[in-house]
Structure 1
Amino acid sequence: MDPDDYAEAVLDTVERIPPGKVMAYGDVAEMVGTGGPRQVGRVMAHFGGGVPWWRVLRADGSPPSGHEVRALEEYRVEGTPLRPDGRRVDMRRARWDGA
């Protein structure tokens, strides 16, 4: 199954997120201009392996379910700001606005 136009738009947006920055699923949907967090999550689950998937997470800064260990490794490598608990991204400091 190949990605449709919506999936391509989501993946293009994710590829633009700079190292050390993140977006919530809803942020990606807002930037794409359609859909919502669940639709973005579905695209990422099916087609996200070829893009920096760890840069898309829940609005509370939690990494993608089932991929926490790998995502946290990527955050440390990229210098993504983490919360004091070290298990979540500091969304205030790390959220990318698309600019």
Structure 2
Amino acid sequence: MSELPEYAERVLAVAELIPPGRVMTYGDVAEWLGEGGPRQVGRVMALYGGAVPWWRVVRADGVPLPGHERRALARYRAEGTPLREGDAPRIAVARARWDGDVTPHT
């Protein structure tokens, strides 16, 4: 098995930091890393994201990942992620967004 590209490792590490019930957009992850952009993060998640909480890295419009809507929505509901319900439920990104703060709160 070959090693992951360094950028992919960093993207996946950020995905693992996102707490249950919270999300970061592809652009948020790129900004947090200070490298790449939404498309690069999306590509990493598409190729390598299956082993991390992929449903917590989302499109900016809050629409669940095409082809994985049912699985993602089940995870969001189980974790209490804020949603906008309707004909096509989506994430309430403004309320669900995580700012990347990894400082322990004591």
- Could you tell me the TM-score, scaled by structure 2's length? 0.89
Match of 2:104 in 1: none
CA root-mean-square deviation: 1.1
> Aligned runs of 1:1-99 on 2, under 5 Å?
1-85=2-86, 87-99=89-101
- Structure 2 unmatched runs, 5+: 102-106
Quote the offset at 1:3 in angstroms.
1.4
Distance 2:57 2:64 in 1: 8
Work out the number of aligned pairs and report it.
99
The C-alpha deviation readout for 1:39-62, integer Å capped at 9, x for no partner, is 001100111000000001110111
Question: Would you identify which runs of 4 or more consecutive aligned residues in structure 1 move more than 4 Å?
Answer: none
The answer to which of 3-12 and 82-91 deviates more is 82-91
Which amino acid is 2:90 matched to? R
Q: Measure, in 2, the Cα distance between the counterparts of 1:7 and 1:23.
A: 16
Q: What code does the residue aligned with 1:93 have?
A: R
Find the structure with the greater CA-based Rg.
2
The 3-state SS of whatever aligns with 1:12 is helix
Q: Give, in angstroms, the shift of residue 66 of structure 1.
A: 1.1
Normalising by structure 1, what TM-score?
Answer: 0.95
Range with greater deviation from structure 2 (8-17 or 80-89) = 80-89
Q: Which runs of 5+ in 1 are unaligned?
A: none
Q: Distance in 1 between matches of 2:3 and 2:74?
A: 29
